[in-house]
Structure 1
Amino acid sequence: MSKCPVLLQSVLDRYDYTRTLSRSRWAWEFLRRNQDFLEEAALHGADKVSVRTACHGITLIRPRIDQMAAERWGLAFFPDPRHDGYAAHAFWSSALFPRQVKVQVSPADSEATCPIYEKTVKQCEIVHLVDTAGREHLLVKGNGHVVQVQCRGMSMLSPEPVRLGFLIRGTANFASRWRMLDEAQRVYGAGQDASVPWSRTSLALRNALVAHDCEIAGLSVRETAEIIYGKARADEAWAGPGRSMKDEIRRARARGRDLVSGGYRTLLA
């Protein structure tokens, strides 16, 4: 690998989009690097799923066949593993990913408009899924964020006008449920939310992802440290007696391997 700092930084820049990923999208980033998953996904091509575009640019997805193979990985169907955590149409099962936003779909007056729907179709990309059990789900993408939504009540595809309302049942974990809805509002905006700083969690996940990719590419621990921390800091760490950076990169590698091999499920719990 070239030691040019500009080239090293350009490698790290490729991961910058992960800054705004939620844990469910991080789970997809690691799963799509699992070789067993890739081999199985290759057996279930695009012809196994119906994909079409409806009004307002909404993508409608419906599996044509049973999706038991995908369900073993926690998915409603096999998304294209070439697509990253933001672009992929990755829908997780409710059992594996219970912390989903839930909306109640109800009949609306014929002349009434639904504020939630109107705002969402104007500002966001929407992917609508009807799974093999007939349940409806949404992926709402915007501002660098992705939210997975469960639909209850009427069908979103009803010819009759519908109204959406956020659904919170019971008082258990009310604060976390409210916080989840608040975080979901981040999809409203234009383009990538560059103002979002790296959190400790997202930075640790990014480093695990980078370390895993470097290991698969055959790069050394030292070369991985140069990509993540820059050549100057890596040179300083390797020249001194301390082992903190070396150990940190090895831990990042180990965590990356664990998340790819099945630990991604813990990000969804």
Structure 2
Amino acid sequence: MKWQNTEQYEWLQALSAHGLAWEFLRRNRAYRSAAANLGVTWPPDGSPPDETWSAGDQMSEAREWGLLLFETPDRDAREANIFWMPEFCPSVLPVVASQNVGHVSGRFLNLSRLRCRNVLIPGEDIQHLLCADQGRFLQLSVTGECLTRPVQVLANVLPMTPYSETRWRGFRRLNDLVCTETLRTKFYPPDLGARRLSRVLQALDGYLAGASQREVAIALFGAERVEADWRDPRNHLCDQVRRAIRRGRDLMNGGYLKLLR
């Protein structure tokens, strides 16, 4: 992505907090180094890299970053398989998978029929499922039956939590996924701050590329406005650029986890 081109950042304005947090994390040089040293990432189709791969190889190191698994920072939020730890991300929905639900009737979740990317981390006690499509994400923490075969998924509505609205949104998304077998855009509105944060990301990219604050300002506001206002004694334009860069650095260096809440 050429950081001077504002148009290349417009797609970020459609992202949820799930994707925006990843965009800041993947710019963190320490994370990029850790991911490169580990050398194990998910392919785009979600299949493990080789037959000897184990999720346990990554989990302990990834937790430092709020992730269940490392993902290559070279993939943006439209392609990345981002598994956030449920402790940091209230939108991760806990569900129970069952094939014996008695009188309960309904549709089955069949991974082979989904028309979106889906990645499954198997486990003896808990399975982690990520469904993703062009920056839309639904992450489930699943107990019960194995998801490699069709199952019904049940979720506890109670007890209510401080993140009840987030959980309700997750229930609606899961129900729609089971019914339509896709992640429909109407259930994944952009984060309220996405437009502002896309500008912060652009400013951060300029800073990381070694650009001056004036060069960042030209990319954000245009050369004509910078020429007119840059030396204004009130420093309004300079202050906006400084705040954007500072905000970007804070989010990149751990603040991205606050976006998830």
Instruction: Give the shorter-chain TM-score range.
Output: 0.7 to 0.9
Name the SS for the 1:42 alignment partner: helix
C-alpha deviation, 1:32, in angstroms: 1.3
Which residue of the partner structure matches residue 3 of structure 1? none
Structure 1 residues 122 and 93: alpha-carbon distance in aligned structure 2, compared to 1, 3 A threshold: closer
C-alpha deviation, 1:155, in angstroms: 1.5
Which piece of structure 1 moves more, 96-105 or 230-239? 230-239
Pairing partner for 1:97 from 89, 106, 125: 89
For structure 2, which runs of at least 5 residues remain unmatched after alignment?
49-53
Name the SS for the 2:6 alignment partner: helix
Pairing partner for 1:170 from 159, 169, 184: 159
Checking the alignment, whether the CA contact within 8 Å between 2:111 and 2:148 is kept in structure 1 is no
User: Under a length normalisation based on structure 1, what TM-score does the superposition of the two structures give?
Assistant: 0.75
Superposed, 1:108-187 pairs within 5 Å as 115=107, 117=109, 121-130=113-122, 134-142=125-133, 144-158=135-149, 161-173=150-162, 174-182=164-172
Name the SS for the 2:119 alignment partner: strand
Cα deviation digits, residues 72-130 of structure 1 (max 9, x gap): 22222211111112211121112222331233211059xxx963636994432212122
**Residues of 2 paired with 1:63 and 1:99: CA distance?**
22
Percent identity between the two aligned chains: 28
| CA RMSD in angstroms, aligned pairs only | 3.5
Checking the alignment, whether the CA contact within 8 Å between 1:102 and 1:168 is kept in structure 2 is no
Cα deviation digits, residues 188-235 of structure 1 (max 9, x gap): 34xxx69x9976511222122111110111222222122223333433
- One-letter code of the match for 1:136? Q
Whether 1:22 and 2:13 are equivalent positions in the alignment is no
Structure 1 residues 250 and 122: alpha-carbon distance in aligned structure 2, compared to 1, 3 A threshold: same
Checking the alignment, whether the CA contact within 8 Å between 1:114 and 1:164 is kept in structure 2 is no
Structure 1 residues 100 and 218: alpha-carbon distance in aligned structure 2, compared to 1, 3 A threshold: same
**Residues of 2 paired with 1:221 and 1:23: CA distance?**
27
Checking the alignment, whether the CA contact within 8 Å between 1:105 and 1:164 is kept in structure 2 is yes
Pairing partner for 1:36 from 21, 26, 30: 30
**Residues of 2 paired with 1:264 and 1:235: CA distance?**
33
- One-letter code of the match for 1:125? R
Checking the alignment, whether the CA contact within 8 Å between 1:19 and 1:197 is kept in structure 2 is no
User: Under a length normalisation based on structure 2, what TM-score does the superposition of the two structures give?
Assistant: 0.78
Whether 1:217 and 2:209 are equivalent positions in the alignment is yes
